Amino acid sequence: MTVTIAALQMCSGTDPVRNVETMRRLVREAAAKGATYVQTPEMTGALQRDRAGLRSILRAEADDLVVAAASQLAGELGIHVHVGSTAIALDDGKVANRGFLFGPDGGKICSYDKIHMFDVDLDNGESWRESAVYSPGTVARVADLPFAKLGFAICYDVRFPELFRTEAVAGAEIISVPAAFTRQTGEAHWEILLRARAIENGVYIIAAAQAGMHEDGRETFGHSMIIDPWGRVLASAGGTGEAVVLAEIDIAAVKSAHDKIPNLRNGRAFTLEMSGEPAKGGVAA
């Protein structure tokens, strides 16, 4: 089955109202070009590193502007709209980095909370502690859609291949990786990691990204991509500015990749033993 899919590239600011307007415009553009599945980046609703500023704009899922707009657009246009993620207020005072998938009737198919928190210390003093604000998810997700089985990941999840393998073994044919990758890490690892996850699992990867300089002072890498199960980049955007990245994909290519290299079937259980007790003097045996 072939389907036209789109990954939207955005440069979300701190105002959810403006970001929703941008999302609406880009989703409509993608649908007008034939896309029946459209994915937005991580933190579509707002990129806001100031905690007080973030909390001032937070809403619960039932009242969130991005959620409402995505549902409305999916129903109006008769397509699948996948909000890569947006910040959602939780009852315990913390925040979920939550993605949403809406079907052509506007109904919510499922949601996914980012599992792995971006707690890192990079070069030049760049440091992030996502776990100080966000509550990590605990559930991997695969949605059975009319055109394919879709697995979910968000940004930093891409560095944890066991999540992708779990979803691929469960039948995922596409895995989504919406992101707001920093420029520093993106230049080093973005494309390599995405292509590796596609190759390892024989799946399509769709990665809608934030791009450019944001109002809160951060810079994101962009380069939204659609990658096939053989690791080939089918379509990509640049490093700054808005974009609608489109590709027609053939889900049969997933089976073809698995038939050629059946590593999902060929995996074997094993145990690990540590050998070589250090000898006196500190020299390993």
Does the active-site annotation cover 42?
yes
Return the residue matching tokens 């109202």. 17
Spell out a b/e string for 107-141, using b for 16 or more CB atoms within 10 Å of the CB, else e.
Answer: eebbbbbbbbbbeeeeeeeeebebeeebbebeebb
Is there a catalytic annotation at residue 11? no
SS3 64: coil
By DSSP bridging, strand 37-39 and strand 80-89 are parallel
Q: Which residues pair with 89 in a beta bridge?
A: 95
Q: CA-CA distance, 168 to 74, in Å (whole number)?
A: 26
Q: Which of 4, 13, 1 is nearest to 180 (CA)?
A: 13
Helix (H, G, I), strand (E, B) or coil at 165: helix
- Which two tokens mark 159? 């560095």
Q: Is 126 a catalytic residue?
A: no
Cα–Cα–Cα angle for 234, 98, 197, rounded to 5 degrees: 35
Catalytic residue among 11, 149, 155, 219: 155
Among residues 114, 149, 167, 173, the one annotated as catalytic is: 114
Q: What's at 156, amino acid-wise?
A: Y
8 A C-beta contact, residue 154 and residue 97: yes
Rounded CA separation 127/118 (Å): 9
Q: Which residues are catalytic?
A: 42, 114, 155
